[in-house]
Amino acid sequence: MSNEVLTVSPQTLQDMKKYYTMNLKPKTPPGGLFAAKKSTVNITAYLSGKVLFQGATAQQEAALWSGKSSQGVTSKKNTKDLNTPLPKDFKHWSVIGSDEVGNGSYFGPLTVVAAYVDKNHFALLKELGVRDSKDMKDPEIRKVASDLITFLPHSLLTVLPSKYNAIQPTMTQGKMKAVLHNQALGHVLNKIYPIVPDGILIDQFELPSTYFKHIQDQPKQIKENLYFQTKGESHHLAVAAASIIARYAFLTSLDTMTKEAGITIPSGAGSHADLIAARLLKRGGLPLLGKYAKLHFANTQKAQKIARL
């Protein structure tokens, strides 16, 4: 069994806990923040900042976070596969960027967006307020996105919980996201044809090698001039714009679900989500909850205990 250890900041620990939300184990070891199991890897994060990866693909999993580590991963193999180096002037290129929203939220859909930003539109996007969506409040997200969708070539793919729950037992979330990104990029390339972007940038959610493995069964695979970067929003406005539109679509879907359910459907996967899920379970069981939530999250079991089902 391969073992890897990282030392990360408190903020990165919280980012990791959110990232592994759907993989969390019910018990946390003494001094730990969380324990999770993703495929063949066990991840244990401690309040001290130490994170232990154990399993057949521990190196690859640890490599996802090595860029945020204060000491680096103990074994350097495969870390070069984490990101694809960007040309020095990449931020000035005309680029298709893609990002996803909702994968860490118990309620709501998984939304994936690819958007093309011509370099001649940089000034306009900045004037509209396009930047990292994590630094924007939801009202601003809605306002900026409603402007962007009127002129920016983009593709929005939304997987509602009912469909997500049907797919998830036979497809990992990583493969699901990879297939959606690949499809969205293909749609935008068709929309802007005969224009060819200078490059394509995916906000990285897994190793590039894993991504290509996940899309190898797709009839059309977008690979040319394709780059991967964590925190893609900081590398090009195209990813920032895609993230804003994806967030907007996610929020709009939550609004629709709230009206339909007659109860506020929240974002995230915290204890509040457990309480809402328990109320839905009491009202209509798993069939009703499955219309609004991703059932494989640990929240489902927590909600069942609250509802005493």
* Radius of gyration of the CA atoms of the chain, in A: 20
Instruction: State residue 55's pLDDT score.
Output: 81
Instruction: State residue 135's pLDDT score.
Output: 87
Instruction: State residue 68's pLDDT score.
Output: 57
Give the side-chain half-sphere CA count within 13 A for 163.
9
Of 75-89, 96-110, 131-145, 259-273, the range with the lowest mean pLDDT is 75-89
Q: What is the pLDDT of residues 46-72, one digit of tens each?
A: 888 889 988 877 777 787 776 655 544
Q: Average pLDDT, stretch 234-262?
A: 97
Q: Which of 241, 231, 232, 203 is nearest to 125 (CA)?
A: 241
* Site of tokens 């990292």: 132
> Per the domain annotation, does 133 fall within a domain?
yes
Instruction: State residue 32's pLDDT score.
Output: 86
Q: What is the pLDDT of residues 108-128, one digit of tens each?
A: 999 999 999 999 999 999 999
Residue 21 phi, psi dihedral angles, 5° rounding: -50, -45
Containing domain of residue 289, as a range? 269-307
For residues 110 and 180, state if they share a domain. Answer: yes
Residue 50 phi, psi dihedral angles, 5° rounding: -75, 135
Instruction: State residue 293's pLDDT score.
Output: 96
Question: Beta-strand (E) ranges in 118-197?
Answer: 154-159
For residues 128 and 228, state if they share a domain. Answer: yes
Q: Which residues contact 102 (CB under 8 A, 6 or more apart)?
A: 108, 109, 110, 111, 246, 250
For residues 102 and 56, state if they share a domain. Answer: no
Q: Is the peptide bond before 287 cis (omega within 30 degrees of 0)?
A: no
For residues 119 and 234, state if they share a domain. Answer: yes
Q: Which of 80, 108, 129 is the last residue of a domain?
A: 80
CB atoms within 10 A of CB 220: 11
For residues 154 and 113, state if they share a domain. Answer: yes
Would you put residue 285 in left (φ > 0), alpha (ψ -120 to 50) or beta?
left
> Per the domain annotation, does 261 fall within a domain?
no
Q: Average pLDDT, stretch 98-114?
A: 95
* Site of tokens 């995916």: 202
Instruction: State residue 76's pLDDT score.
Output: 38
Mean per-residue pLDDT over the chain, rounded:
89
Q: Which of 37, 53, 80 is the last residue of a domain?
A: 80
Residue 81 has pLDDT above 70, yes or no: no
CA separation for the pair 213, 174 (Å, rounded): 11
Higher pLDDT, 80 or 249: 249
CA separation for the pair 145, 196 (Å, rounded): 24
> Per the domain annotation, does 126 fall within a domain?
yes
Q: Which of 58, 80, 102 is the last residue of a domain?
A: 80
For residues 288 and 166, state if they share a domain. Answer: no
Strand order in the sheet with 50-55: 2-7, 50-55, 41-46, 32-38
Looking up residue 251, the CATH number of its domain turns out to be 3.30.420.10
Q: Which residues contact 14 (CB under 8 A, 6 or more apart)?
A: none
> Per the domain annotation, does 263 fall within a domain?
no
Q: Which of 134, 82, 137, 121 is nearest to 238 (CA)?
A: 121
> Per the domain annotation, does 264 fall within a domain?
no
CA separation for the pair 21, 179 (Å, rounded): 21
pLDDT band at 73 (very low <50, low <70, confident <90, very high): very low
For residues 38 and 141, state if they share a domain. Answer: no
> Per the domain annotation, does 85 fall within a domain?
no
Higher pLDDT, 300 or 57: 300
Q: What is the pLDDT of residues 113-168, one digit of tens each?
A: 999 999 999 999 999 999 988 889 999 999 999 999 999 999 999 999 999 999 98
**Residue 101 β-bridge partners:** 111
CA separation for the pair 120, 116 (Å, rounded): 12
